[in-house]
Every structure is written in structure tokens, then in C-alpha cells.
A and B are shown apart, each in its own frame.
Chain A
Amino acid sequence: MKLLFSKLDNEEGSAIVVALLILAVLTIMGISSTNNSTIELNIVRNEQIYQTNFYQAEASAYEAAQRIEQETNTNNLIVSESNLDWMNNDTLDYFDQSNWLNDGSANDNTDVSVIDPNAFYSAVGKGVRMGSSLDIGATRLYEYAVFGMSQWNNGNAVVEIGYLRRF
């Protein structure tokens, strides 16, 4: 018993133990700062992807508004008579990205934006604006919700703007 205690009380070799303990603490600090820097870079990358998608979605939405503005055949701007793929009625929820169809089939409800192949636009006709059809024979104010979406680099941004056109 006395031998055992004398072995436990022996402090030879403690220098290496102290050195390794300090090293362990420094390693933990090093790993956490590396982690921190990795997270920081991820934040920046995600931010850039989001902003890129946001600007593309915004540009797509403006493009759809411009197409509405420039459409000379006003029948195309009335949902029930429209030949335009991207002119739809109000039943679709465009904030759900699975509702954006653009595969070249007859079901297409969007159009590709000029800004990027990953950016699309679509519009929803809301009909005649309340109160604007009271005067028979006059032009009417039509109300649209115009959507732009961009999915560059696995990101996703949808922009909705309101648009009115009188015809």
C-alpha cells in the first residue's frame, strides 16, 4: 500500500502532461476559430446567391410588366381570351416554386426572362379594377399581379409586384 501511494505521489513527467493540456486548449480555440471563419464564408456566399436571385427575380417581374404594357393585342391581356402562356388566373400560388412550369409543354404558365435562363416571369390577371367599369363605353383599368422568380445556384427568390393597365 505504501508503495502504491509513493508511485501516485511521484510527479516526474508532469511537464509533458501540462504541455499537452495547454496544447489541447489551444487546439480547441483553433478549431472554433476555423469553424467561425467557415460559417462566415457560408453566410457571405448565401447572401450573394440570394441577392443575385433577388435582382434577377425583380428584373423578370419588371419584364413581365413591360410585356403587359407593350401588348398591342389587348385580348391577350384578358385571362379568359389570352394566348400567352404566362398570363394566368388567380388560382396559382406563385410563391410555391413547384407551381412555376416551364418545360415547353402546353401546361407552361411562365416565360423565361432575358436576364438569365434560370429566371422566369408570370402574371396573374385580377380582372377589372373595382369601380373602373362604371362608365359604359369608357376604357377600363385592369389589375395584374406580376411575378418574377430566379433559381440561380440552388437559391430561390420570388418577387411580386402589382400592375395596372387601362385599355
Chain B
Amino acid sequence: MMNFLSNKKFRGKNQVYAQGGFTLMEVLIALGIFAIGILGVASMQLSSTNGNTKSRKYTESSEFGQGQIETLMAAPFASLADGNTVTADGYRVTWTILNQSDTNGDGTDDMMVIRVNVDDPQGVERSVYTFSRFLTIGP
């Protein structure tokens, strides 16, 4: 066994040519360049995280908005009015009646356009949807 290891032919290169480590200058320059580069990479990661957070907020607000639309579609026509609600996650859902009219002139309003806005917990508007309700037609 010893014979095998001491045979020069089978030894690793490092044992044949001594590796003296790095000089201080070398390490300093390498670290400096690495540090500058890592700053760029870090900011890339940061913007990516921000983008993902933003897209999560858009997605969540979009779902809350759609949920509210479905609720308003199922509500009786006469009970519809402006309103708002805050979800457990802090999203504020606001619905506004934009246009209420009597299309056949029989004295009863039979159509309304409703807008649903959703603000994220920081108060930034993330989604807006509009839909219509009709007295005689629809869900």
C-alpha cells in the first residue's frame, strides 16, 4: 500500500508541484471585482422579488374583484347599491354604480353598469372591472 502511494506516477499533481496559495493582491482584486458583480446580481434578485410581489398583488386583487362581481350578480337587482368591503388580507374592494337607467321608459330603472375596484393593502389600485346588471335578464 505505501509502496503504491509513494510511487511518483500515482501521486496527485499538487504533491508534485507545490501550490503556494494566493497572494494578498490577487485575493483583493478578485474580491473587489466579485463584490461589484454581486451588487448587480443582488439588484436583479431584488427587482425580481419586487416583480413577483407585484404580480401576486395583481392576481389576488383580480380574484377578489371577480368574487365581488359574482356576489353582485347573484344579488337581487333592487338591493344593488354602492359599497365597499375589506378582505381579511387587507384588500379594499369598492363597487360603484356608474350608470343606472330606464331603457324601456316604464318608470323603473332596469339597467345598471357597476364598476368594481380593488386596492391592495398599501392603497394602490390593482384591478378594475366593469359589468352590467339588468332587471329582467341575466344571472
Give the interface of A toward B (CB within 8 A).
9, 11-16, 18-20, 22-23, 26-27, 29-31, 33-34, 36-38, 40-41, 43-45, 47-48, 51-52, 55-56, 58-60, 62-63, 65-67, 69-70, 113-116
Contacts and interface: CB of A to CB of B under 8 A. Distances in A.
Contact of B131 (A23, A33, A55, A65): A55
If over half of A's interface residues share one DSSP class (helix, strand or loop), that class is named, otherwise mixed; here it is: helix
Contacts of B29: 15-16
A13 B25 CA distance: 10
A12 B26 contact: yes
Given A22-B34, A34-B47, A44-B55, A15 B27 contact: yes
A44 B29 CA distance: 44
B43 to A, nearest CB: 9
Q: Which 10 A-B pairs give the minimum distances between C-beta atoms?
A: A37-B51, A59-B132, A30-B44, A33-B48, A15-B30, A19-B30, A23-B37, A37-B48, A19-B34, A70-B104
B41 interface: yes
A159 B104 CA distance: 24
B112 to A, nearest CB: 10
B136 interface: yes
